[in-house]
Chain A
Amino acid sequence: MKWFILGPEIYFLTVTLVFLILSLTHLNGRRDFRAALFLAALGVAVTLATVRLEGSLFHGAYRVDLYSQVFKGLLSLGFFLVVCLCSNLNGIDEWRHSEFYLFLATCTLGMMLLVSSVELLTLYVALELSSYSLYALVPLRSGSGQQMEAAMKYFLSGIATSALMLFGLASLFGATQTTYVAELALKLPGLLNTPMAFVGLLLTLCGFFFKLALFPFHVWAPSVYQGAANQVTAFLATATKLTAIAMLARLVSMSHGNTSMAHVLIALAIISMTYGNLVALIQKDFKRLLAYSATAHAGYSLMGILSMNQTGYAAAVFYAVAYLAMTFTCFLVLVKVAPNGSNLGVVQLAGLHRRSPLLAMGLMVGVFSLGGIPPTIGFTAKFLVFNAAMERGYFLLVLIAMINVVVSLYYYVQVVKAAFLLEPDEQLPVIKLSAPATILMVIMIVVIVVGGIFPRYLFQLTQAAIEALL
């Protein structure tokens, strides 16, 4: 049965149907959560079961290989983790819960289709499936009007970027007379010195720069991070970044080490990390801070991709995995600390070390990992990316990135300081963690630390995935 290789996609399509039906029945938030948790956990199992499958479908427009399957595994994991955050989904009205899960599932489905697409039109359709789900997810939040502002910003800048991307796709087709990535990869290297092909590829990349919140496509990020419900932001900050890095690696690898392309990417990476870190310095809201730090991290992860060698792509993929782990840890703390699903100012973390020592420790590990302090997975990821860039001789780029790391430590330390040092004005109650939440937190801490100390197998896996890509 050759349709087995579509297992994860078919499964997630079924999940969306289940939630479609649930949204038609009478409302019951607990039931929706339990169903989502069960289906998401099963989804991880289904996806992992298909990791080793390979094949090609739809006349070569859709390819299943280790590269795509690794990302599908990570996406299903990201979906599961975000669902884990929804036990107390009070940022969203209860009658919308099943719709929330529905759009979350369609978005995951879209991204799964995306990482397997090797034909430009398929790719575009899959991208829009995931994008439109996100456009619908952002305004789901109940309460004041800020979610509508966020949704409008996200939607307008999103479709503008889509238009740019379509223009790029058209140019690529015009230059090469093909929409298949495999054929593009053969024709492009010779054509990249022509403006049409070069601009075409660059504009195509823009669609994913937008997802990654890379400068200058980051403008939506702070408002959307702040305006969307915490769980939606967690999904935006983890799963979509994964997909963006996967697709950037796939598209940039078509240029086969073109230096002009590398120079453009270097410029973007430097501006992005510098701008993101400098603006993050003055943020007061934890989610806004994470939004700007995401812009900075987009710059770091791009360093692996712009190295355009095998270690570089593998390092970028490793970076994506690390970013998933550490950002999720921060959001786990945020969701547990934020009262009634509201936003969380950095100062509201005050006294966390007494309210919940475990959360405080998890926050410290997660934030220091984002800051690139060993022995965490965030450090190892940075090290791998820097190593790849250095192999191409980009010494200055690495130096600038390292200086940026030090700048970023300032605001990461402010978060740690708030949690460990500041005392709240009034006595706040102890945060009671349920047993599953405690276990999840401990697992995340262990993953971040162990991933930093023993990166070997994860790195081998990413290298194997990259071999499948190239």
Chain B
Amino acid sequence: MNMELASYPYLSAILLSCVAGLLVILFIPREREALVKWVSLAFSGIALVLSIYVYCAYDRTLGGLQFVEKIQWIESLGIHYFNGADGFNLPLILLTGIVHFTGVLTMWELRGRVKEFFAFAFVLVLGVFGFFMSMDLFFLFVWFDVSLFPMYPLIAIWGTTRKEYGALKLFLHVLAGSALVLPGIVYLSVVSGLRTFDIVALMQPGAFTPGQQKFAFFLFYIGFGILAGVWPLHTWSPVGHVAAPTSVSMLHAGVLMKVGAFGILRVGIFLCPLGWEYWAPLMAILATIGIVYGIFVGLTQTDLKYVVAFSSVSHMGIVGLGLSTVTAEGLNGAVFQMFAHGTMTALLFSSLGYIYDKTHTKLIPDLGGMSRVMPMASGYFIVAALAGMGVPGFASFWAEVTVFISALKVYPVLGSLAICALVLSALYMLRVVQRTFYGQRNERYAQLPDVSFSLGLPRMILVAVMVLFGLFPRLMLDLIQTAVIPFMGGLAR
């Protein structure tokens, strides 16, 4: 893999903008709530601008790892502070920037303990950014846990339905995942005999025997798979999503679940390609079950947030299916699906959050005819629901098509099963849309205001991003391709 050293540490600047945001917020008196929000917006804006810059400035003809920053951290153990950007992580860095920025805007009306909320949110996003850009296993793990632990207070303090239970369940599940990841990481570093945690150095062929790769890949698949919502390890995810406050659901379903999937890719697939090939059939089966299961359980839910949460399980199954094909197209589609699902689910939770804030209910039978009460808010939800069904014109369409084409080639039965299930998903999304936004209007909510322009801004941004990459998918697919082709070409077969 060729490496381009950074002329300016843009990647660290993204991390620093999060740290700076956190520190500034800590020194603002807790009564100055508006100031806290503006500061959060400013620093998340800086991070967004930087991530857009890095995304655009990446040299696609050159490929490889760019914007590389490498500093020795602990010599005797071979730990480096090592960041880099390639076609795999750039879409996700961009996604994190977008979701955090829109998340801050979505929470603009938050009341009570504002300072702590935005401080914890910065810690979470810091961990996610760091995880995506890190090329050192030690730091990767550190960022992984940094992104996880703020989830507990964020859900337990500001959440809603069964918040303490949901927060604790989520927290213990995902950290149980990290209990498998850490031994796996240390194991790889020790058995390689290289005394390093540098992913690029460990990627050299022959660093691990096939047996070691199979063993380690399994650890990473389960460990990261819990966070990625792989069936049957997903049980924390609907409960956690439902309990979380709006922007935390956005960050969590939009970004954190991708952390899990990306962990499987960056650690599992990168370092243990033979293990990947060995376990691919299992991954495919679990992913297909996840897709089908998510849709069927979603069909029976009466709580809007549960519907969206189970659709996340289903859509993350598509990511898993893409990864399990062991083909270039599959990988490409999986990474694109991570991005597409991130924006889509963020929009779903964001528009749903507005409706819940106003009506204080998210039960489908209680709502109804919302499109006449809040046409804009309903519009955003319907757009996101359409994207979730895979309607052409949105980014998820291309992602799902790419994944399913490659899946049909490799696993004809499972692939066709998944496609059939996806047709059903249209049914269940339409059912929700019909019952919630059309039909008999509930008079209790007739006087509620529609979403204002300023509050609508985050939703507009998300719609714009989905449409942009839906109309011009090559903006992203080509970028991912620059990483996928050399990687698949380099695999020893």
A residues within 8 Å of B by Cβ?
311, 353, 357, 368, 373-375, 379, 383-384, 386-387, 390-391, 395, 398-399, 402-403, 405-406, 409-410, 413, 416-417, 420-421, 455-456, 459-460, 463
Contact = CB atoms under 8 A, between A and B. Distances in A.
Given A375-B142, A421-B157, A409 B172 contact: yes
Interface string B166-193: 0010011001101110110011011000
Contacts of A417: 156, 164
A421 B180 contact: no
Contacts of A391: 190
B146 A399 contact: no
Contacts of A386: 182-183, 186
8 contacts: A311-B77, A374-B145, A383-B186, A395-B187, A406-B178, A420-B153, A421-B156, A460-B76
Nearest to B26: A361
Give the most central of A357, A386, A409: most B CB within 10 Å: A409
Contacts of A311: 76-77
Interface string B156-167: 110000001000
B180 A402 contact: yes
Nearest to A368: B149
A409 B145 contact: no
A409 to B, nearest CB: 6
Given A387-B186, A390-B189, A456-B73, 15 more contacts: A311-B77, A375-B142, A379-B142, A379-B145, A398-B182, A398-B183, A399-B179, A399-B180, A402-B183, A405-B179, A410-B172, A413-B171, A416-B153, A417-B164, A460-B76
A121 to B, nearest CB: 36
B179 A406 contact: yes
A405 B73 CA distance: 25
Given A409-B171, A413-B171, A402 B182 contact: yes
Chain A contact residues: helix, strand, loop or mixed: helix
A375 B183 contact: no
B141 interface: yes
A178 to B, nearest CB: 34
B138 A375 contact: no
Contact of A375 (B30, B146, B168): B146
A463 B189 CA distance: 20
B492 interface: no
Contacts of A399: 179-180, 183
A411 to B, nearest CB: 11
B74 A406 contact: no
Contacts of A460: 76
Given A386-B183, A395-B183, A416-B153, A459 B175 contact: no
Contacts of B145: 373-374, 379
A25 to B, nearest CB: 46
A289 B74 CA distance: 34
A280 to B, nearest CB: 15
A417 B152 CA distance: 9
B172 A390 contact: no
Given A402-B180, A409-B171, A374 B74 contact: no
A384 B189 CA distance: 13
Interface pairs A-B: 9 shortest CB-CB: A402-B179, A374-B142, A390-B186, A398-B183, A390-B190, A374-B145, A406-B179, A406-B176, A399-B183
Contacts of A405: 175, 179
B76 A459 contact: yes
B146 A374 contact: yes
A403 B179 contact: yes
Contacts of A406: 172, 175-176, 178-179
Contacts of B179: 399, 402-403, 405-406
A421 B156 CA distance: 7
A390 B182 CA distance: 11
Contacts of A463: 76
A357 B30 CA distance: 10
Interface centre among B76, B145, B152, B182 (most CB of A within 10 A): B182
Nearest to B113: A353
A390 B75 CA distance: 18
Interface in B131-147: 138, 141-142, 145-146
Most chain-A CB neighbours within 10 Å: which of B30, B176, B179? Answer: B179
A397 B74 CA distance: 24
A285 B152 CA distance: 22
A344 B480 CA distance: 55
A465 to B, nearest CB: 14
A160 to B, nearest CB: 37
Contacts of B164: 417, 421
Interface in B367-405: none
Contacts of A409: 171-172, 175
B79 to A, nearest CB: 9
Given A374-B141, A375-B146, A463-B76, A390 B153 contact: no
Given A386-B182, A410-B172, A455 B156 contact: no
A353 B113 CA distance: 10
Contacts of A384: 77
A399 B176 CA distance: 11
A448 to B, nearest CB: 14
A220 B75 CA distance: 41
A163 B146 CA distance: 47
A456 B73 CA distance: 7
B26 to A, nearest CB: 9
Nearest to B74: A456
A387 B153 contact: no
Contacts of B138: 383
A384 B186 CA distance: 10
A395 B185 CA distance: 11
Contact of A459 (B74, B116, B189): B74
Contacts of A398: 182-183, 186-187
Contacts of B156: 417, 420-421
A387 B141 CA distance: 14
A420 B116 CA distance: 10
B120 to A, nearest CB: 10
Contacts of B73: 456
Contacts of A459: 74, 76
A221 B332 CA distance: 56
B152 A413 contact: yes
A42 to B, nearest CB: 34
Contacts of A413: 152, 168, 171
Contacts of B171: 409, 413
A418 to B, nearest CB: 11
Nearest to A361: B26
Contacts of A421: 153, 156-157, 164
B127 to A, nearest CB: 9
Nearest to B145: A374
A405 B74 CA distance: 24
Nearest to B130: A375
A420 B157 contact: yes
A368 B186 CA distance: 21
Contacts of B142: 374-375, 379
A57 to B, nearest CB: 32
A313 B141 CA distance: 24
Contacts of A390: 183, 186-187, 189-190
Nearest to A463: B76
A173 to B, nearest CB: 37
Contacts of B76: 311, 459-460, 463
Contacts of B182: 383, 386, 398, 402
Nearest to B215: A395
**Which of B73, B76, B180 has the most CB atoms of chain A within a 10 A radius of its CB?**
B76
A459 B73 CA distance: 11
Contacts of B141: 374
Contacts of B75: 456
Contacts of B152: 413, 416
Nearest to B171: A413
A235 to B, nearest CB: 30
Contacts of B180: 399, 402
